Structure 1
Amino acid sequence: MTRLEEEMVSFIALIGGFVALRLLGVVGVDVLDGWQPALRGALALMFVVTGIPHFLPSWRRDFAAMIPAAFPQPALLVTITGVLELAGAAGLLLPPLAPFAAIGLALLLIAMFPANVSAARRGLTLAGKPVLPLPARTAMQLLFVAAAVAAAT
């Protein structure tokens, strides 16, 4: 699997999850009857998919290497971001917390973007494959942030 294919897993989780959840809403699952609940569920799925690798040894090392040198304790930052992604995913599924979780996740995506820029500029790898080129990563990051903001409104 190429890096683009691996990165597409997040995209597929978001888009495919949204379509599947929205269809469930249309056929009678009341809690999913609307674009926003379906989007929140899809974002939750995406953040579970992206959050779990923060705790897998080979991914942790690569994620830590992505963090710019100006930030202290990269391994701790990888743990914190993984916990925040998973907690945010859970928050998206709780209607009273969902808007706050969505905004928090949008801010987290923005805060983590410098690591993606750093990794692309330094030609790093994730799981032995080159990171996604910066233009493609930027486009995906913008989509993810826009989805999180839309889920908050």
Structure 2
Amino acid sequence: MIVLVLLLATAAFRGLGALGVRRYGDWRVAAAHGMAVMLLLTASAHFVPADVTVMPTHADLTAMVPPFLPYADGLVYLTGVLELIGAAGLVLTATRRAAGAGLALLFVLLLPANIYAVIADVSLASPLWQRIPEQLLYIACALYVASRSETKKEVLV
């Protein structure tokens, strides 16, 4: 589901570019904005109380934290905040490359939690086995956004 948000949002932004919105005339910029939309959704799960069942909740994400890491509750809040900061960084031209690189690193650091959740059979609304390939896609997308070549001037809107 989250992958669809990333893909559809990216396609929508690139579609706007095809319709003449110059800011989204580049696939990397469209991908950056698509990833920002996705991150707003995923970051919100870090703050959702346990009684909401539509998406993973804070308690679900806390259960995914490997037991050797201290302060699981705080780590979930921290990663949610980092995702929100990353989303903001992706839409700002001046910070897009740094945000993409930082998010790629964050996604690499979050990969052990997804692996642990699969091994420990943590119960979530979505199948855990798909989270690992999704995480690899997010890393690739963040690196793609971070690799932005500066061959043309971007429109600052």
- Identity within the alignment, %: 38
TM-aligned CA deviation for residue 151 of structure 1: 0.3
Which residue is 2:21 aligned to? 29
For 1:138 and 1:120, the matched residues in 2 are separated by 9
Aligned length: 141
Which residue is 1:137 aligned to? 131
Structure 1 residue 152 corresponds to structure 2 residue 146: yes
Structure 1 residue 54 corresponds to structure 2 residue 54: no
Unaligned runs of 5+ in 1: 1-7
Unaligned runs of 5+ in 2: 51-56, 148-157
For 2:36 and 2:86, the matched residues in 1 are separated by 7
Which residue is 1:102 aligned to? 100
TM-aligned CA deviation for residue 109 of structure 1: 0.6
Amino acid corresponding to residue 112 of structure 1 in structure 2: L
TM-aligned CA deviation for residue 131 of structure 1: 4.2
For 2:63 and 2:105, the matched residues in 1 are separated by 21
Q: SS of 1:56's equivalent?
A: coil
TM-aligned CA deviation for residue 137 of structure 1: 2.4
**Residue 122 (structure 1) aligned to one of 117, 120, 126:** 120
For 1:138 and 1:93, the matched residues in 2 are separated by 26
Tell me the C-alpha RMSD between the 2 structures: 1.1
For 2:15 and 2:49, the matched residues in 1 are separated by 36
Q: Identify the range of structure 1 (136-145 vs 77-86) with the bigger mean alpha-carbon deviation.
A: 136-145
Gap change, CA 1:130 and 1:87, over 3 Å in 2: closer
Q: SS of 2:68's equivalent?
A: coil
Are the aligned partners of 1:47 and 1:86 in contact in 2 as well (CA < 8 Å)? yes
For 1:49 and 1:16, the matched residues in 2 are separated by 13
Gap change, CA 1:34 and 1:62, over 3 Å in 2: same
- Between structures 1 and 2, the one with greater helix share: 1
TM-aligned CA deviation for residue 138 of structure 1: 2.2
Q: SS of 1:97's equivalent?
A: helix
Are the aligned partners of 1:124 and 1:131 in contact in 2 as well (CA < 8 Å)? no
**Superposition TM-score, scaled by structure 1 size:** 0.88
For 2:101 and 2:62, the matched residues in 1 are separated by 24
Gap change, CA 1:91 and 1:44, over 3 Å in 2: same
For 1:72 and 1:105, the matched residues in 2 are separated by 22
For 2:70 and 2:132, the matched residues in 1 are separated by 24
